[in-house]
Amino acid sequence: AQTVTQSQPEMSVQEAETVTLSCTYDTSESDYYLFWYKQPPSRQMILVIRQEAYKQQNATENRFSVNFQKAAKSFSLKISDSQLGDAAMYFCACRMDSSYKLIFGSGTRLLVRP
Amino acid sequence: DGGITQSPKYLFRKEGQNVTLSCEQNLNHDAMYWYRQDPGQGLRLIYYSQIVNDFQKGDIAEGYSVSREKKESFPLTVTSAQKNPTAFYLCATRTGGGNQPQHFGDGTRLSIL
C-alpha cells in the first residue's frame, strides 16, 4: 500500500527566515505526482506546489520550492522569507499515475513567529 | 475554490438520522471526491467518482453513501450506521490526467446533537 509520512507534527520559524518541511512516501510505481497543500485556519485546502516524478528539476513557485529526491522517496518543502500568512497546516500528498486516489500525509503545523 | 460549492457550512445530526452534504461544481471536472478530516489529522478518502453514474469506495466508506446522477453534483449521505460522524468533510474535483491537482471546496463541519 502506498503511504505518505510527515514526521514533523509542528514546526516553528521566525518571520523572514527559511524553513523546510519533510515528507517521505512509499510506492512501487515509477510514475506518480507529488503535491504540497496548505490549510490555513479557514480550513480551505490550497495547492502550494506540485512535482512530477519523471522530472529531475525541482519545482519552484515564488518563495516555495521543493527538494525532490526520487531514490530516497523524499519530497521536502522549503519556504523562504517566511511570512505571517504562511502559518497553517501543510499536507504532503502523492497520486500514482495508475490511480485517481490522492494519498495524504498527517500534516505539519507551521507556526511563524513575528 | 470558487468553482466548488459545499453546503451547508455547518450541519448537526441527531441520533439515528441520515444527513446529506451537498457538493456542486461548475468547473466541468469529470472526477469528484469526498474526504473526511478529523482534528489534527490528514484527509481520508470516503468515496470518489470518475464519471457520471459511477463511483467507487475509498478507504473509509462504511456508513456513507453517494450518488453521481449529474456531472456537477456529488452529494454525500452520512447514514445512521456511521457511529462517529463528527468531522470536517471536504469535497474535491479534478480534471485531466498527469499532474492535475485536486481542487477543494470550503468544507462542511458535521456535529452530533
Q: Which residue of B50, B99, B106, B108 is the best one to mutate when testing the A interface, meaning the one whose CB has the most A CBs within 10 A?
A: B99
**What is the pLDDT, as a whole number, of residue B2?**
55
Q: Residue B107 is nearest to which of A33, A43, A91, comparing CB atoms?
A: A43
- Give chain B's end-to-end CA distance (angstroms, integer): 29
What's the burial of B77, exposed, middle or buried (CB within 10 Å: 0-12/13-18/19+)?
A: middle
Residues of chain B neighbouring A32 (CB-CB closer than 8 A): none
**What is the pLDDT, as a whole number, of residue A27?**
87
CATH class of the region A3-113: mainly beta
Buried/exposed code over B20-30 (b: 16+ C-beta within 10 A; e: otherwise): ebbbbbebebe
pLDDT tens sequence across B58-110: 999 999 999 999 999 999 999 988 889 999 999 999 987 767 889 999 999 99
Residue A33 at interface with chain B, using a CB cutoff of 8 Å: yes
**What is the pLDDT, as a whole number, of residue B100?**
84
Residue A106 at interface with chain B, using a CB cutoff of 8 Å: yes
pLDDT tens sequence across B11-53: 998 888 999 999 999 999 999 999 999 987 889 999 999 999 9
Portion of chain A with pLDDT greater than 90, in percent? 81
Residue B39 at interface with chain A, using a CB cutoff of 8 Å: no
Query: Any idea where the domains of chain A sit in the sequence?
Result: 3-113
CA distance B51 to chain A (A): 12
CA distance B100 to chain A (A): 9
| The three three-digit cell numbers of residue B4, written as one number | 466548488
Q: Residue B101 is nearest to which of A35, A91, A101, comparing CB atoms?
A: A35
**Stretch A43-51: mean pLDDT, rounded?**
94
